[in-house]
Structure 1
Amino acid sequence: MPLVTTKEMFQKAYDGQYAVGAFNVNNMEIIQGIVDAAKEENAPLILQVSAGARKYAKHVYLVKLVEAALEDTGLPIALHLDHGEDFEVCKSCIDGGFSSVMIDGSKHPFEENIAVTKKVVEYAHARGVVVEAELGRLAGVEDAVKVNAKDATYTDPDQAVEFVERTGVDSLAIAIGTSHGAYKFKGEPSLDFARLEKISKMLPNFPLVLHGASTVLPEFVAKCNEYGGEIPGAQGVPEDMLLRAGKLGVCKINIDTDLRLAMTASIREHFAKHPGDFDPRQYLKPAREAIKSMVKHKVKNVLNCSGRA
């Protein structure tokens, strides 16, 4: 099966009131853990690559690994560029085999964001590739994305409608209170569901996206803290909030931090128990299984997309 776009995937998710997981990938073990989980759950899947991942693993290696996943599983998989910073990066991924790209012009003024997004959309659509954009800015840190809390802004519903109409974008990442990284809230977790409902009603049948949506599962944080440097005060998005978002037009939920925590927790535990081990296969195999277990949990309990492939 070749790569798919998210068009049909998101339409099914919108109609079924669930979300598709978009998981960030950096190496073979991460990809294997994710796709093994999705195959067992018969779930649709988006594998996404950040600028940092392309720099770390190289574009061609990641594309070939995803092609291997397609051959191995037969699942509908979209390969997506996460947070493309400009037209040239998006063009490189479109030309290099990706089926979906994100142009993140959220750092720009509204009109400039529209202009760069429209340019990417025109190039991508002519080549059968779909485009995600972002309106509003999430706080937090993830790879090259670094936004201070004071610079974060929620998505304006009226601007969202204008933005979609003028750019022709296929999906829109919105800011309603999530943030990148492991530290999402100070105090009680809260998402602006009134804003989400308004945007969804004003953009009917249009797929919305949530970034910064890892739940920061306590079991992995605790294990990281037990076997290595502490991650104090980490707090993710509650699972019930993400389930609710999936019923209100959010068709794609990004997950990266939880992958990092699952892998790191497993590797720290392995070396604490086997300090003399130097065979990468011995510590990467349980790390891959930890990712698989975490992704299966997400698919069933957070995304509600088990059996939807």
Structure 2
Amino acid sequence: MLVNMVKMMKEAAVADKAVPGFNVYGYEDAKMVIEVAEALNAPAILMTNKDAVAHMDVKYQAALYGAMGEDTDIPVCVHLDHGKDYALCAKAICAGYTSVMYDGSGLPLEENIRQTQEVVRLAHACAISVEAEIGCVGYNDPSIHAIAMYTDPAEAKQFAEETGVDALAVAVGTLHRMQVQDAKIQYERLEQIQELTDVPLVIHGSTGLTDDDLTKLAATSVAKVNIGTALRMAFGHTLREEIMADSQAFDRIKCFKRPMEAIKEVIHQKYKRLGW
């Protein structure tokens, strides 16, 4: 069933769990997320990131993931990740997304608040949940120019109160697109943020976290953890092995079978580490 992410985050937070949000790029990885979630009786969040938006119009992605979500009994949220502006968030809402993230983290605080408020007004009128970011989670990719900036707890409190967002992404030590697990979480900063805010917190860039960190975060106010690079690496590396093993292979449905199983295992591991 299709839902926004408000209820699933609240229920996860009180149960010392966190819902993994997976960046998906099509039927294959979305199907694996839903299969694992069904087996664990857990909710699923299918996310569309900036690369996916550039590759395929959100209206087509909404149709695909929305249909997949409607065909299962578990709660499924179709979420726009890092919406760059009001127009894209509005387009996603109209297309059928049940949740959106507006990312104004690169803006001055007051402007981030103002623009987030506009997205919240539209989304809440349509029963769509909204995530936003305060501070800025950087990228472990030199081709992407984004200045990482840790979240200030006082600013997080102000932002949450003035915007009314349903989830707040915070920068406490992770980076997007990390390929090794050597991120250092600033737990003291995270504790200060959760003491000052009531809104469920979100961690981006979790591929760089150890398994122990994931388990530890699930016991905090963190209710959603974003996962993308871990799935892309599992899929891509396994696909390369398949093609190298048979240089004449050309049927992508056959080539995708082992990569799908590889990401299914990663998805299962992440769910288990987050308390499911």
Q: Shorter-chain TM-score: which interval?
A: over 0.9
Is 2:66–2:96's contact at 8 Å kept on the other side of the alignment?
Answer: no
Structure 1 position 67, deviation (Å): 2.7
Separation in 2, partners of 1:134, 1:10: 16
Structure 1 position 61, deviation (Å): 2.6
SS in structure 2 at match of 1:140: coil
Does residue 1:244 correspond to 2:216, yes or no? yes
- The residue type equivalent to 1:286 in the other structure is R
Does residue 1:210 correspond to 2:182, yes or no? no
Structure 1 segment 158-169 matched on structure 2, within 5 A? 158-169=154-165
Structure 1 position 182, deviation (Å): 2.3
Separation in 1, partners of 2:144, 2:130: 22
Structure 1 position 202, deviation (Å): 1.2
Match of 1:303 in 2: 274
- The residue type equivalent to 2:93 in the other structure is I
Match of 1:218 in 2: none
Match of 1:181 in 2: 177
Match of 1:226 in 2: none
- The residue type equivalent to 2:267 in the other structure is V
Separation in 1, partners of 2:35, 2:56: 21
Match of 2:144 in 1: 146
Match of 1:228 in 2: none
Work out which of the residue numbers 172, 175, 186 in structure 2 matches 1:192.
186
Structure 1 position 57, deviation (Å): 2.7
SS in structure 2 at match of 1:93: helix
Match of 1:291 in 2: 263
Match of 1:222 in 2: none
Separation in 2, partners of 1:274, 1:288: 18
Structure 1 position 141, deviation (Å): 5.2
Q: Per chain length, whose mean CA-contact separation is higher, i.e. which structure has more relative contact order (CA < 8 Å, sep 6+)? A: 1
SS in structure 2 at match of 1:69: helix
- Number of residue-to-residue matches in the alignment: 275
- The residue type equivalent to 2:66 in the other structure is E
Structure 1 residues 24 and 189, CA, compared in 2 at 3 Å: closer, same or farther?
A: closer
Structure 1 position 71, deviation (Å): 3.9
Structure 1 position 183, deviation (Å): 4.7
Moved more, 53-62 or 281-290: 53-62
Is 1:31–1:65's contact at 8 Å kept on the other side of the alignment?
Answer: no
Scaled by the length of structure 1, what TM-score is found?
0.85
SS in structure 2 at match of 1:146: coil
Structure 1 residues 87 and 159, CA, compared in 2 at 3 Å: closer, same or farther?
A: same
Structure 1 position 95, deviation (Å): 1.3
- The residue type equivalent to 1:177 in the other structure is G
Match of 2:110 in 1: 111
Match of 1:233 in 2: none
- The residue type equivalent to 1:27 in the other structure is G
- The residue type equivalent to 1:208 in the other structure is L
Structure 1 position 49, deviation (Å): 0.6
- The residue type equivalent to 1:276 in the other structure is Q
Is 2:134–2:151's contact at 8 Å kept on the other side of the alignment?
Answer: yes
Structure 1 position 73, deviation (Å): 2.6
Structure 1 segment 1-309 matched on structure 2, within 5 A? 1=1, 3-140=2-139, 146-148=144-146, 151-183=147-179, 189-204=183-198, 206-214=199-207, 236-300=208-272, 302-305=273-276
Separation in 1, partners of 2:145, 2:216: 26
Structure 1 position 27, deviation (Å): 1.2
Structure 1 residues 118 and 134, CA, compared in 2 at 3 Å: closer, same or farther?
A: same
Aligned residues with identical type, % of pairs: 39
Q: Unmatched 5+ residue regions in structure 2?
A: none
The RMSD of aligned alpha carbons is: 1.7
Structure 1 position 52, deviation (Å): 2.2
Separation in 2, partners of 1:183, 1:282: 27
Scaled by the length of structure 2, what TM-score is found?
0.95
Deviations along 1:35-91, whole A, 9 cap, x unmatched? 112112221111111232123132233222213322443210011110001111111
Is 2:101–2:130's contact at 8 Å kept on the other side of the alignment?
Answer: yes
Moved more, 241-250 or 65-74: 65-74
Is 1:80–1:98's contact at 8 Å kept on the other side of the alignment?
Answer: yes
Structure 1 residues 259 and 274, CA, compared in 2 at 3 Å: closer, same or farther?
A: same
